């Protein structure tokens, strides 16, 4: 949510920042609604003062026996009461218009965010590792002999429809091990607190984390009104809604492993083969709550946490800064981490780490109080994948593929597999 006071103070700056996202200026429309709202409030306050003044004179007129004045004042009090109610309703309507408009406007980019129109304008920060050199034609994950029917899309479709999959045997075991490995690394080495969250959330949680109203079509809602989480960013971040935290409580760093659900609205025809784009998937999500002056350093720290998972798995990757035209709705700056997939001969996104500033905090009224200060301030929030488990499974399978159809598993994962080091061409964990 945007700060209306900041827009009033610097409307040109607000429009300039929106232009960086390729949007037309909106300050005039916003301020016109705000002006109408404030005018109604002022008029209601004036009418209330007039009603209170008249109310005081009613008794005096009655005591003097001035019936005409008494009736005039009584009528005036009644009229003002009706006028006040009408003005308050009109002010409330303008306030609703303003809030709805502000809720649909994306966050303003951080000044350091590169400007651009689309992903072609993203800026690479660095690369790690060397893409594997194979002396045979690389296969995609679902084509590998070691995978076989242990990644079963037909049964997934029979049970639930398109873009669902059933994992079994060694493939399911590696998938589970990856999630456990990520959680243990983040909690034991990166200082994050593990949280087990609900995956059904209320409207308020989706709104507070900027998923509503704009992205309702991208998520699933139950018949009784709950939403299935698109990522555990929603419950983790919303856990501090309405709170006033102590300065000493910050930063608060959390991590959760959950099922995630996305309708993939608007993605028809994209990545329909394999596990890259599913309606149901698992993700290990990181969320940080910080003081404003610490959030950019925290973004770099969070990015390093995600990169470290790939490095432990010896998976080549590159990290890019998203340009203003490719950045998500709620982000001020985003670092995407893309893992190398030999089967596609390219890098594909496996993590996205973003700082939102106080954009979400304003929507959910999450604040902190500095030591010795009375007035609370809005916190800053950050979120990032640490990592997408299914996509990490894909990367492990494709980067470890062998000519005979088997898959060598990364050494960093062996302790979470009971010392097993490969999936044979026949699909056995060995």
Check 349, 362, 369, 370 and give the catalytic one. 349
Residue 60 resides in a domain: yes
Query: Strand pairing of 252-261 and 193-194?
Result: parallel
pLDDT of residue 63: 79
Check 27, 232, 295, 352 and give the catalytic one. 352
Other Cβ atoms less than 10 A from the Cβ of 58: the count is 17
Q: Do 86 and 139 have their domain in common?
A: no
Check 8, 72, 127, 277 and give the catalytic one. 277
Q: Do 201 and 98 have their domain in common?
A: no
**CA–CA separation, 147 and 162 (whole Å):** 19
Q: Final residue of a domain: which of 74, 103, 132?
A: 103
- Residues of the chain with pLDDT > 90, as a percent, come to 91
Q: Final residue of a domain: which of 55, 76, 103?
A: 103
Instruction: Count the domains in the chain.
Output: 2
If you search the block for the tokens 């800053």, which residue do you land on? Answer: 380
For 187-217, give the DSSP string.
HHTS-PEE----SEE-HHHHHHTT-TTTTGG
Per the annotation, the verdict on 277 as an active-site residue is yes
Q: Do 93 and 139 have their domain in common?
A: no
Residue 429 resides in a domain: no
> In 265-388, where do the E strands start and end?
280-290, 317-321, 333-341, 346-357, 367-369, 377-378, 380-388
Per the annotation, the verdict on 349 as an active-site residue is yes
Q: Do 197 and 87 have their domain in common?
A: no
Residue 225 resides in a domain: yes
The CATH number for 64's domain is 1.10.287.40
Q: Do 93 and 145 have their domain in common?
A: no
**CA–CA separation, 208 and 211 (whole Å):** 8
Residue 190 resides in a domain: yes
**CA–CA separation, 250 and 294 (whole Å):** 10
Per the annotation, the verdict on 262 as an active-site residue is yes
Residue 277 has pLDDT above 80, yes or no: yes
Tokens of 274: 């394999």
Q: Do 95 and 151 have their domain in common?
A: no
The CATH number for 238's domain is 3.30.930.10
Residue 146: closest CA among 397, 400, 426, 413 = 426
Q: Do 95 and 184 have their domain in common?
A: no
Q: Final residue of a domain: which of 62, 78, 103?
A: 103
**CA–CA separation, 384 and 268 (whole Å):** 25
User: Residue 54 sits in which domain range?
Assistant: 4-103
Check 37, 301, 363, 391 and give the catalytic one. 391
Instruction: Give tens-digit pLDDT for 189-233.
Output: 999 999 999 999 999 999 999 999 988 999 999 999 999 999 999
Residue 109 resides in a domain: no
Residue 428 resides in a domain: no
Instruction: Give tens-digit pLDDT for 70-118.
Output: 888 889 989 999 999 999 999 999 999 999 999 999 999 999 999 999 9
pLDDT of residue 68: 83
**CA–CA separation, 417 and 398 (whole Å):** 18
**CA–CA separation, 367 and 291 (whole Å):** 9
Q: Do 85 and 155 have their domain in common?
A: no
Check 37, 262, 332, 333 and give the catalytic one. 262
Residue 316 resides in a domain: yes
User: What does the chain come to in residues?
Assistant: 430
């Amino acid at each position: 949510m945007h700060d209306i006071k900041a827009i009033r103070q610097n409307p040109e700056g607000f429009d300039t920042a929106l232009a960086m996202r390729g949007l037309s200026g909106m300050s005039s429309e916003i301020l016109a609604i705000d002006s109408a709202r404030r005018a109604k409030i002022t008029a209601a306050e004036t009418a209330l003062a007039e009603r209170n003044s008249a109310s005081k004179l009613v008794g005096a007129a009655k005591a003097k026996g001035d019936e005409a004045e008494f009736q005039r004042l009584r009528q005036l009090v009644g009229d003002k009461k009706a006028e006040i109610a009408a003005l308050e309703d009109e002010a409330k309507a303008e306030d609703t218009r303003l809030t709805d408009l502000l809720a649909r406007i994306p966050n303003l980019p951080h000044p350091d965010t590169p400007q651009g129109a689309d992903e072609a304008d993203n800026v690479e920060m660095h690369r790690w590792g060397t893409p594997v050199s194979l002396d045979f034609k690389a296969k995609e994950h679902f084509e590998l002999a070691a995978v076989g029917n242990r990644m079963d899309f037909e049964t997934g479709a029979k049970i639930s429809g398109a873009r669902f999959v059933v994992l079994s045997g060694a493939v399911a075991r590696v998938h589970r091990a990856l999630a456990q490995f990520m959680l243990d690394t983040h909690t034991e080495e990166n200082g994050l607190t593990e949280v087990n969250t609900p995956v059904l959330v209320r409207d308020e949680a989706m709104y507070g984390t900027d998923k509503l109203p704009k992205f309702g079509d991208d998520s699933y809602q139950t018949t009784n009104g709950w939403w299935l989480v698109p990522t555990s960013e929603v419950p983790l971040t919303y856990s501090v809604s309405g709170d006033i935290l102590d300065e000493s409580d910050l930063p608060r760093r959390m991590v959760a492993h959950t099922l995630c659900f996305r309708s993939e609205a608007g993605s028809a025809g994209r990545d329909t083969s394999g596990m890259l784009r599913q309606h149901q998937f698992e993700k290990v999500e990181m969320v940080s709550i910080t003081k404003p002056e610490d959030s950019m350093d925290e973004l770099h720290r969070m990015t390093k946490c995600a990169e470290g998972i790939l490095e432990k798995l010896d998976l080549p990757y590159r990290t890019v800064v998203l340009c203003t035209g490719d950045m998500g709705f709620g982000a001020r700056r985003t670092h995407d981490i893309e893992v190398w997939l030999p089967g596609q001969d390219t890098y594909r996104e496996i993590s996205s780490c973003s700082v939102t500033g106080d954009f979400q905090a304003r929507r959910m009224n999450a604040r902190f109080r500095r030591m010795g200060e009375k007035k609370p301030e809005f916190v800053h929030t950050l979120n990032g994948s640490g990592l997408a488990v299914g996509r990490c499974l894909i990367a492990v399978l494709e980067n470890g593929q062998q000519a005979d159809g088997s898959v060598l598993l990364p050494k960093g994962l062996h302790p979470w597999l009971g010392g097993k080091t490969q999936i044979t061409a026949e699909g056995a964990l060995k």
